Amino acid sequence: MGKHGIKILDLDVNKLIYLLNQALSEEWLAFYQYWIGARLMEGPMRSEIEPELLVHATQELNHAVLVVNRIIQLGGTPVLNPSEWT
């Protein structure tokens, strides 16, 4: 969405960027939970479950990329500090 689209829709871009940063934080947290779970998991089924968790982690990371791209398109700054994810 470029500047022309913003004018047409008459929306509060700062509010939208705020909401997108909230979504981005959730994507990062989900990515981390899947990724660290795959790394720390133990037990006889690890070799079967670990790849599945890594697939989900990759999907969450891809979602984060999409959200970051939209924030930048809107002229915002993505959440930069992990301490702000919660």
Q: How much is the pLDDT for 11?
A: 79
How wide is the angle at C-alpha 52 spanned by C-alphas 85 and 50, nearest 5°?
90
**82 occurs within a structural domain:** no
Domain count across the chain: 1
Taken as a whole, the chain contains a residue count of 86
**14 occurs within a structural domain:** yes
**86 occurs within a structural domain:** no
What is the residue range of 45's domain? 3-77
**84 occurs within a structural domain:** no
**12 occurs within a structural domain:** yes
Task: Give residue-wise pLDDT tens across range 58-74.
Answer: 999 999 999 999 999 99
Task: Give residue-wise pLDDT tens across range 6-55.
Answer: 666 677 899 999 999 999 999 999 999 999 999 999 999 999 999 999 99
**25 occurs within a structural domain:** yes
**85 occurs within a structural domain:** no
Residue 6 φ then ψ, to 5°: -65, -45
Positive or negative torsion for Cα 69, 1, 19, 77: positive
**47 occurs within a structural domain:** yes
Q: How much is the pLDDT for 2?
A: 61
